[in-house]
Chain A
Amino acid sequence: MAAEHNFLQFLGDNLVEFFKFTGFANVEYGHLIMILVGLFFIYLAISKKFEPMLLVPIGFGIIVGNIPFFPGNQIGIYEDGSVLNYLYFGVLKGVYPPLIFLGIGAMTDFSALISNPKLMLIGAAAQFGIFGAYMLALLFGFSASEAGAIGIIGGADGPTAIFLSSKLAPDLMGAIAVSAYSYMALVPVIQPPIMKLLTTHKERLIKMRPPRVVSTTEKIMFPIIGVLLTCFLVPSGLPLLGMLFFGNLLKESGVTRRLANTASGPLIDIVTILIGLTVGASTQATTFLTVKSVGIFALGALSFIIATTAGVLFVKFFNLFLKEGNKINPLIGNAGVSAVPDSARVSQEVGLKYDRTNYLLMHAMGPNVAGVIGSAVAAGVLLGFLG
C-alpha cells in the first residue's frame, strides 16, 4: 500500500513538474494577444492576399515566438544557443537584408526608369516620409537613433527597415519590421484615399507617353553607374545598394543567367522564409507589447501617409515645369514609396477607375524602383549621421 502511494506520489510530482514546463503553465495575456495578431496576419495573407509571401512567415513566426515556455532551455529566440537564436543572427547582424536586395536587384527591370529618368525624382520625393516620421518621433520623445530607425518605416521597404533598425535600435527591430511589413501589405488601403484627395479629375486622366525602348547597353550601364554614383555619395548604404545593383547586373549582363536565377529564385525565397519567420518570432510579448511599440505603429502609419502625400504633391509640382504632352499623371506619385510592386499596382488600379484605357503600371514602376534606391540611400544617410 505504501509502495503504491509512493509510486502515485512520484507520478503526481512528475506530472506537476512536467506541467511547469508546458506552455499552459507559463502563458500570459501578452502571449495570447500576440498569437491572435499572428493569426490575423495569416488570415490577411491567405484570405485577403495581402503580401502573402511575407505575412505568412511573419504571422507564423509571431505564433512560434509567442508559445510560452519555461526559460533556460535554449528554446526562445532571445536565448543564447537556441536554434532560433542562430537563425535570428542573420537579422540581428543585418545579413539577410542585403541578400534580399541581391534577389530584388536580380528580378527588377529598371527599363521604365531608364526610359524616363525624370521619374527617379518622384522616388526621391517620397522619401520625405522617412524624415517626416523621424521628426515626429523626436517630437514624441524617442532618442535620435530610435527616431531614425522608426523613420525608415516610411521608406516602405522591409529589408531596409530591418537593416537600419538592427544597427540603430536593435531593441525596436521587431516592432519596426512588423510595422513596416504590415503597412506595406496595407498599401492598397492606405494610399488610394490620399491619391484621390490630392488630385483633380483632370489630373487623374493624364495619359503619359509610352516609354521608349531601352537598349541592352543602357540596362548594363545602369547598375554599374548606379552603384558607383550612389555608393560614392553614401558609402554607408553599400551593403544594400551594392547588392541591389550587383543583382541587377547579374540579370542584365545576359551571361550570368544561372546566378541571376538563383539570386532571384531559391536564394531570395530561402532568405525571405528565414527573415519572415525570425522577425515574427522576435515579437515575443514580453519585449514587444510595450507603449513604444504602439508609438511605432502610429508613427509608421503617419510615415506612409506623409510619403504618399509627398510623392503625389511632388508630381503636381513637377508638372508645373513640364510641357503639355510630357506631363506626369500624379497618380503614380504614390509609387515613390518603395513597396514594390504593390504601390505601382495601386497607381494602375486607381488610374483605371477614371479611364479604362489609361494603363499606368509601367510608368509607376519607374518611381517604384527609384523608391528602392532612394530608401536605401536614405538609410545610408541616417546610418552615417546616427550610427
Chain B
Amino acid sequence: MKEKIKKVSALLALGLLALPCSAQSIENIRINEVLVKNENSYVDDYGQRNGWIELFNDGYSSINIAGCYLSVNPGDPNSTYKIPKNDPRTIIPPQGYVVFFADGKADKGTFYTNFTLDKTGQIYLFDASGRNATDSVIYDINTLQPDVSIGYMTFDQNEGLKWGDLPATTPGATNEVNEIIPRSEIFREHDPSGGIMAITAMSVVFSALLLLFLLFKAMGKILSRMEEKKNASAAPAGATTAGAAPVHKSGTVSSEVLAAIAVTIKLYEEDLHDKESEIITINRVARTYSPWSSKIYGINNQPIRKK
C-alpha cells in the first residue's frame, strides 16, 4: 500500500512539474511603439532619422532578449535581425524599454537592424529558437503619416490595451502622455472620506479571521470526538486511569492542574538545582588507553634519576 502511495505521489509531482507555468520570459516583451516614417522625429546616435521599433518589458523581472529575432519578413535572412549576445544593454529591466533603429545596416551596433520598416508592413518578434513569434504588428504603410508613431494607447478598463496612432512619439518611454495619477489618489477620488476603504478592509480582515475561526472550531470538535472515541475503545468499561489529570465533563483540564503542570515544566526547564560538573557512579568506567591521560607520565610523579 505504502509503495502505491509513493508511486502515486511521484507521478503527481511529475505531473505538476509538467504543467505549463507562467514564469517571466520573452512572452513579457511586447512591441510597444513603432515609427515607420521618421522625417523630423527621434534622431539616432549617428544623427540620422530612421524608423524605429520600441520593445517593452511588461513583466516584473529583467529579461534578456539577446539571441531573439526581429523580422519584417520571416524566413528571409536579409529581413531578419538576430539580436546580438554579450551586450548588457539587451537586458530589459522590469517595465523598461529598448529602441531598435531600422536603418537597414546591421553594422552600426546592437540596436540597428538589417532591415527597414517601409517595405512589408509587418514586424515580428521571435524567441531565441527563431520559430515562435511572441509578438507581431501589422500596419498599412500607405496610410501611415510621417512622424506619427503607432503603438499601444492608454489602458482602457473595458477594452484593455488598444493599438493605434499615438498623439506623440515617445521612444524609450511610456506611451501615456497625460499625467499619470497614482492608483491611491484615483481610489481617494472615489472614496474621499476613507469610509469605503474602512468597510471593505474590515470586511476582508473579518472574513479571513472568521474563516479561520469556523475552520478551527469545526476541527476542534472533530478531533475531540475522535479522541473520545479512541479513549472509549481503548479503556475497559468502568476503568479509570490512575494518576491521570482530573478532566471536566467538557473535556477540558481544570485550571489548577494546568497551573501545576506549567510550574513543573518551568522548574524543569530552568533546572533550579545546581548542576554537577562531574558524574559520580558506582559503575566501572573503562576508557581506552592514551599516553596523554596516562598517570605514568603525570607531572606529579617524582622524576627518576638515572645514573
> CB-CB contacts of A128-148 with B at 8 A, as 1s and 0s?
101110110011000111011
By a CB distance below 8 angstroms, the chain A residues around B211 are 229, 233
B184 pairs with A143, CB closer than 8 A? yes
Residue of A nearest to B248 (CB): A210
Q: Which of B90-98, B187-195, B232-240 contacts A (4 or more CB under 8 A)?
A: B187-195
Residue of A nearest to B256 (CB): A210
> CB-CB contacts of B250-267 with A at 8 A, as 1s and 0s?
111111001000000000
By a CB distance below 8 angstroms, the chain A residues around B205 are 124, 127, 374, 377-378, 381
- CB contacts under 8 Å to B, within A215-274, are 215, 217-218, 221-222, 225-226, 229-230, 233-234
- Interface contacts (Cβ under 8 Å), in number, total 138
B203 to chain A minimum Cβ distance, whole angstroms, is 9
B264 to chain A minimum Cβ distance, whole angstroms, is 16
Interface size range on A against B: 35 or more
By a CB distance below 8 angstroms, the chain B residues around A49 are none
Known: A114-B220, A382-B201. A209 touches B252 (CB 8 A): yes
Q: Which of A64-72, A115-123, A173-181, A278-286 contacts B (4 or more CB under 8 A)?
A: A115-123
By a CB distance below 8 angstroms, the chain B residues around A107 are none
By a CB distance below 8 angstroms, the chain B residues around A139 are 193
Residue of B nearest to A213 (CB): B253
A123 pairs with B209, CB closer than 8 A? yes
B198 pairs with A134, CB closer than 8 A? yes
A118 pairs with B213, CB closer than 8 A? yes
CA distance A168 to B205 in the complex (A): 20
B251 pairs with A381, CB closer than 8 A? no
CA distance A324 to B258 in the complex (A): 23
B183 pairs with A386, CB closer than 8 A? yes
B224 pairs with A212, CB closer than 8 A? yes
B197 pairs with A233, CB closer than 8 A? no
B215 pairs with A233, CB closer than 8 A? no
Residue of B nearest to A147 (CB): B194
A138 pairs with B202, CB closer than 8 A? no
Known: A123-B209, A143-B184. A233 touches B198 (CB 8 A): no
By a CB distance below 8 angstroms, the chain B residues around A145 are 182, 184
Known: A117-B217, A211-B252. A385 touches B198 (CB 8 A): no
A124 pairs with B219, CB closer than 8 A? no
- CB contacts under 8 Å to A, within B151-201, are 182-185, 187-188, 192-195, 197-198, 200-201
CA distance A255 to B216 in the complex (A): 23
Question: Which one, B194, B209, B224, contacts A135 given CB within 8 A?
Answer: B194
B204 pairs with A120, CB closer than 8 A? no
CA distance A6 to B193 in the complex (A): 71
B219 pairs with A148, CB closer than 8 A? no
A229 pairs with B212, CB closer than 8 A? yes
B252 pairs with A128, CB closer than 8 A? no
Residue of B nearest to A137 (CB): B194
Query: Does A370 reach chain B (CB closer than 8 Å)?
Result: yes
B254 to chain A minimum Cβ distance, whole angstroms, is 7
Query: Does A58 reach chain B (CB closer than 8 Å)?
Result: no
CA distance A113 to B213 in the complex (A): 9
Task: Please report the total number of B residues contacting A with Cβ < 8 Å.
Answer: 41
Query: Which of A125, A127, A168 is packed against the most chain B CB atoms within 10 Å?
Result: A127
Query: Does B227 reach chain A (CB closer than 8 Å)?
Result: yes
CA distance A200 to B208 in the complex (A): 31
B204 pairs with A131, CB closer than 8 A? no
Query: Which of B187, B193, B219 is packed against the most chain A CB atoms within 10 Å?
Result: B219
Query: Does B25 reach chain A (CB closer than 8 Å)?
Result: no
B253 pairs with A381, CB closer than 8 A? no
Query: Does A359 reach chain B (CB closer than 8 Å)?
Result: yes
> CB-CB contacts of A161-201 with B at 8 A, as 1s and 0s?
00000001000000000000000000000000000000000
Question: Which one, A128, A143, A217, A370, contacts B198 given CB within 8 A?
Answer: A128
B258 pairs with A134, CB closer than 8 A? no
CA distance A114 to B184 in the complex (A): 37
- CB contacts under 8 Å to B, within A355-372, are 359, 370
Query: Does B206 reach chain A (CB closer than 8 Å)?
Result: yes
CA distance A135 to B196 in the complex (A): 10
Query: Does B141 reach chain A (CB closer than 8 Å)?
Result: no
Known: A138-B192, A233-B207. A225 touches B201 (CB 8 A): no
Question: Which one, A118, A148, A212, A213, contacts B184 given CB within 8 A?
Answer: A148
A144 pairs with B220, CB closer than 8 A? no
B220 pairs with A128, CB closer than 8 A? no
Question: Which one, B183, B194, B204, B208, contacts A134 given CB within 8 A?
Answer: B194
By a CB distance below 8 angstroms, the chain A residues around B219 are 218, 221
CA distance A359 to B255 in the complex (A): 10
CA distance A132 to B202 in the complex (A): 11
Query: Does A373 reach chain B (CB closer than 8 Å)?
Result: yes
CA distance A145 to B186 in the complex (A): 11
Query: Does B223 reach chain A (CB closer than 8 Å)?
Result: yes
A289 to chain B minimum Cβ distance, whole angstroms, is 26
Residue of B nearest to A209 (CB): B252
Query: Does B210 reach chain A (CB closer than 8 Å)?
Result: yes
CA distance A215 to B187 in the complex (A): 45
By a CB distance below 8 angstroms, the chain A residues around B192 are 138
A269 to chain B minimum Cβ distance, whole angstroms, is 20
Question: Which one, B202, B208, B220, B252, contacts A233 given CB within 8 A?
Answer: B208
B195 pairs with A135, CB closer than 8 A? yes
Residue of B nearest to A151 (CB): B194
CA distance A229 to B208 in the complex (A): 7
Instruction: Show 23 A/B contacts (Cβ-Cβ < 8 Å), sorted by A.
Output: A117-B217, A118-B213, A120-B209, A120-B212, A124-B205, A124-B209, A127-B205, A128-B198, A131-B194, A131-B201, A131-B202, A135-B193, A138-B188, A144-B182, A144-B188, A210-B253, A212-B251, A213-B252, A229-B211, A373-B208, A381-B201, A385-B183, A385-B200
Instruction: Apart from A117-B220, A373-B209, list 19 A-B contacts with CB within 8 A.
Output: A117-B215, A117-B216, A120-B213, A121-B213, A123-B209, A124-B209, A127-B205, A131-B198, A134-B198, A135-B197, A138-B194, A144-B188, A147-B194, A168-B184, A218-B220, A222-B216, A233-B211, A373-B208, A387-B184
